[in-house]
Structure 1
Amino acid sequence: MESPTAPTGPTGPTVPLRFGLLGPPRGWRGNAELDLGSPQQRALLAVLLLREGAPVSAPELVSAVWDGDPPPRALGTLRTYASRLRRLFEPERGPGRPPEILVTVGGGYALRVPPDALDTRRFTRLVAEAEKADTDGDLARARGLLDEALGLWRGEALAGVPGPHAEAQRLRLTERRVAAQVSGLDLDIRLGRHAAAVGGLRRLVAEYPLRERPRELLMLALYRSGRPADALDVYLDARRVLVDELGIEPGPVLTAMHRRVLAASSPAPAASERPAQLPAAVADFTGRTAQVAELRRVLAGGGTATVAGTAGVGKSALALRVAHLLRPDHPDGQLYADLHGAHERPADPHPVLGAFLKSLGVAPEAVPNDLADRTALLRRVLAGRRVLMLLDDARDTAQILPLLPAAPGATVIVTGRYRLDALDGAHSLDLDVFTPDESRELLVRIAGTDRTDAEPDAVRELLEACGHLPLAVRVAAARLAARPGWTVRSLVDRLADRRRRLAELRVADLAVEAVFQLGYSRLGPASRRAFRLLALPDGPSFSVPAAAALLAVPRERAAE
């Protein structure tokens, strides 16, 4: 167990303390193990440690330590336990010097130790880092972090600590351990280590026979190890246990896995049949908190969502962010296609379907030539699988309909410049430009704080000149970052000429003008004329009557 940084007291550095609750409670001062005393004294210590520095009142401590049946002089005994622990933690503390570690707060106590001094907090941190690595696509690192987290456990949490409070905490910690074990074995399968995952999954199934997720993963691992008959036996055993113990049938996910194994004509798919096609998420993704939460909520059980918005507003960045967050819920893979909807020649669904099918393990010679046949085959292959599909920059509904799976567990995110209202059952999200706070956050993250903090007025003018369009803000920030000698005001001055503004918003291969040019090239003659005329008035918006008068068309036509 690694040592936390030693805190510094009034008389110099103190000897670092470490504690372990992921097993029988243990404590160390430096390299020397501490005698933590009686079970009740250990219970007191455990309560304070799990509160992570927050004060706990004396009545609450009495209730937790003695299970609601305290001795006659419980408060006095509590003070005795606290005094003994203080001597353990700070043996050099002289008379009259207040304690610095186990402190009195109001009518209770608080334990002040560094976060990494407690194994439960290190476990939580490592699991969170593993989840982020998984989201970022680094599966091997995620597995290593989970191994490190699970290696902190020395047996049953809080072993030997009496009382219902300790039991409740023990159950809570055990749930987190099981969740980490399941996540690690899921990663093994996703990394192609199917046979290696079988043993760990069998142990989890034996220990928690009513949990369906370990059984689902065990079926998948056996199936992909070339053992479909054993996978079917796992389902039959699960059904027997659930019916006998709870009087219920297996849930839809386990049933879908059963159908998938039954329908298989080959022993097992290869590891490549779990596609992982998502591009990397934007490293400095900024803002959009409400939109991310909305998409995660509506897609929690599968389904389709569309994200529409103007060029450069960040549709793809938002969709990728959400897709990576949803990846753990889709263990059968992710499919991605850039449909080039804004280009003069958008992607044809026919070759996109062929690429999807091959990535899912369909032999090239088995991919049909007919578009409808390809769609039907894709839907059969995806039946019973939990797959996430991201269709980026769609042109219209007709382009994406052949690509959509029919499986209820599949999740589809579609981005495009126009709303796809004809897409039945899809949730639509219209993405607007950044708020001023989001714009400033992105500018600061890329360009740094030195110039932005020194020139707040110029920052506001720069972001207004960018129209709070995420792509424009990103380009402006990148220009500042690439030119340390520029002030923010100097860039504002360069953007002052509206006729030159788009030309200035260019850096490397990022150009605001280019994305607008793509959209403009798609417009017909009448729409191009309308675009030019509507650009004449000052101000960010205008009414339908004003637009009708400017375009010399009826109001109904202008509203369209």
Structure 2
Amino acid sequence: MPYGILPVTETHASAVLGGSRVTVEFRALGPVEAVMAGRPVDLGAPKQRTLLALLVSQVGRPVTVDVMMEALWAGHPPPSAMTSLQAYVANLRKLLEPDRAPRRPATVLRTCTQGYLLDADATDVDARRFVEHAKAGWQARGQEQPQRALSEFEAALALWRGQAYQEVAAVPCVVPEVARLQELRLSVVEMRCAALLDLGAPEMAAAELEAFMKANPLREYGCELLSLALYRAGRQADALEVLQTMQIRLTEELGVDPRMALQRLRRKILNQAPSLDRHPTPVLPAPAGAGGPVAAPREGSAGPPPAPVADGEVFVGRETALRQLTEALDAARAGRGRVVAVSGEPGAGKTGLLRRFTGPTGVPVLWGTCTEHATAPSLWVWEQVLRAAATAFPQYPMPRPVAELLEGDTQRPADGTEPSGAALRRFEAIVRYLTGLSRSGPLIVVLDHLHRADPGSLRLLAHLAESVPASRLLLVVAYRSHEAPVLAETLAALARGEMTRLELEGLTPQDTRALASALLRREVSGRTAKELWGRTDGNPFFLREVIGLLTDDQRLDDPRAVPVPVLVREVVLGRIARLPRPSVEVLSVAAVVGRNFDIAVVADVVPVGIDAALAALDTAIAAGLIVEDQRRLGWFRFTHALVAEVLYETTGRLRRARLHRWIGAAADRAGTAERTAERTAGTAPHLLSAAEGSPAPAPRASLSIGG
């Protein structure tokens, strides 16, 4: 899977290598690229690029003429091969040292007795930085600094754009290095997921590891991490199935038994060993002298308020939502049960809010999470709630219909329907059991990710809600806002009682500053926080991922230059992949237009009729990716700048240049009848961007800018 490019300046490269001679940055974790003074270098003909890729793969080591001939002409060089090779070397020297005086010895691509070599001190190769980030991540995890470890692993993976040394990956002397880097990349993916588990994010780790294991089915450590992540995410059966599948695969394909760690993990899961429970490492600002210096606040600045911590995770903001939840719990304590519905976009922090709220209450909490990555039996989320109830209240006998549900003695259709009123009798038994438990004191029932619930679970929820007002139950459900239509009937049933709705929006710029300062363990300026907020709209998930890549002062000064984090990219692409193809095509063009776009211009470029373009956008709006501009008719907006960034980056450079040209022309046509200053200003950037593919639009861009 391709990863984003992590920009590195000459200053950073010098710092990495500990010297000051670095003049060229090479990107070899994908198609070979060279960057000088922040600008990409045109590397010329394919064979010339291949030669450079070979030299980069052996940086600091001589490459003989014979090896070059083999790589360039597959062992069958023509009579003019030596002349061509010398010409390629001469061209590369001009590109890499354009200011070198005539007859002055080359310092980047040097001649040696065996052939040629790239000077290691004058170059910075992303493959070396990848290894350094990986080592730093392992060191941080060994020092129980999971947030720093996650940041290092993210930075390492962000350097990948395809196969390492793509042009020469099959050359014999390069094959071992390609294999080493690929194996290291797989290990970094696993360690990144381990860091996610350390930070208490098993759902995120499980989603990544499931895809990883499909591509690498014999990775035993990946299997171990996936099983642990599934168990901590409340998917015990799935965790055991993963281990069983690995055992069968190893036995039948390789004739070996799983390593002891997998066998021990299986026994622990079967016994529900307490050691498997999540114990996230706190991510707190370290006191001075306890593990390294902490940046002191600037003089005259009060700095952001301290961030409270829940479950070892930094938590900020949400004061209004916490107050409303507390008021609902107080009502339940007084015998007036309440239902609270918490909604928000993906990554808004619904689960984090509920963990923060329930942690210090001292009230028993029965938590159920609806599964997404597997087809669960009917009432699966309620099984989790009822098992938690049996553990929390062992002194209260469980009614037989409830016990039968947990023991699996009943056949339950996937839609939750059962003949002869059996479902209603079971529902009544569950309702009496839960409301009865609340007689001795308030009780909180949480159903997370409700939008994934099966029909039977939703019917039971509606049935329980009718009895909540006369109990001491606080029933809290959480779901994604854009998934509300599938819950319309259930939400209507909940609304007939005493229900409080909480819609979580993005964090404020002040909360963003507090979160960044706590995670980075240093004060973050208001300007940096504002730029972080502008790029993420305060979405806590996006914020945490972007903040994790702010590893140096330069990035703190310009967080807009931080690449899209890998996990954010995968989440966004996963949501886009669920859209129909016409919607993806329209969104891809819209992302090149910009975060705000005129649908008439996009429809002209795609090209489709305006009605077809609007129909395609309806699906994206329903998915929460696009919103309509209420001030300008026909204009729309990506809900997050990062969504537009991901789409833009996944569009090839040549296609982007062509799209910019077409967008500029379409904007001109759209503005013919009534050419406004806004359309004029909006056309010029596209014409300038189009000039990368062809210089023809540049004069018109200059005229547009000039008015």
Q: Give the TM bin, normalised by the shorter chain.
A: 0.3 to 0.5
When the two structures are superposed, what TM-score results if normalisation uses the length of structure 1?
0.45
Alignment TM-score, normalising by the size of structure 2 = 0.36
